[in-house]
Amino acid sequence: MDPSPKDGESAAAAEPSRGAAPSSGVVVQVREKKGPLRAAIPYMPFPVAVICLFLNTFVPGLGTFVSAFTVLCGARTDLPDRHMCCVFWLNIAAALIQILTAIVMVGWIMSIFWGMDMVILASKY
C-alpha cells in the first residue's frame, strides 16, 4: 500500500528529496533577545565570574552585587548604549531582587542562574 500524504501535508513533503546536495540548505541564525537586567551582566575575567557564582550560590545576590562593581572597573556588557552608572544600578537592582526574593527560594534560584550566566559570558570573553 502506497502511503499518501495526510491532510495538511504536501506531496513534496512526503517524498524524500532526490539529488539534493548536502550543502543546499538554509542557514538560520538565532539571536537571543535579552532584557535590560539580563543584558547588564558584565563580561568578567573567568576567575572573578567563578567567585561571583560561588557567592551567589551561598549568599543570594552577593555575587551579583560584586559584579556590579566590575562594571565601574571597565567590564563591558551587552548594553553599549547605556552609561556605566546606569548599568551599575541595573546590577544593584538585580542583586536586591535576588536578596529580597530569596526568602521564597525564587531569588536563590535566580541568583544561581545569574552566576551561571556570568561564568558562561566569561568563558566567551
Query: For residues 91 and 77, what is the distance between their CA atoms, to the nearest angstrom?
Result: 11
Residue 10 has pLDDT above 70, yes or no: no
Q: Which residues contact 3 (CB under 8 A, 6 or more apart)?
A: 14
Instruction: Render pLDDT for 51-83 as a digit per residue (tens, 0 to 9).
Output: 999 999 999 999 999 999 999 998 899 888 888
Q: What is the pTM of this model?
A: 0.71
Average pLDDT score over residue span 101-125 = 92
Quick one: which of 46, 123, 63, 53 has its CA closest to 99?
63
| Three cell numbers written together for 7 | 491532510
Instruction: Render pLDDT for 15-59 as a digit per residue (tens, 0 to 9).
Output: 555 555 566 788 888 877 778 888 999 999 999 999 999 999 999
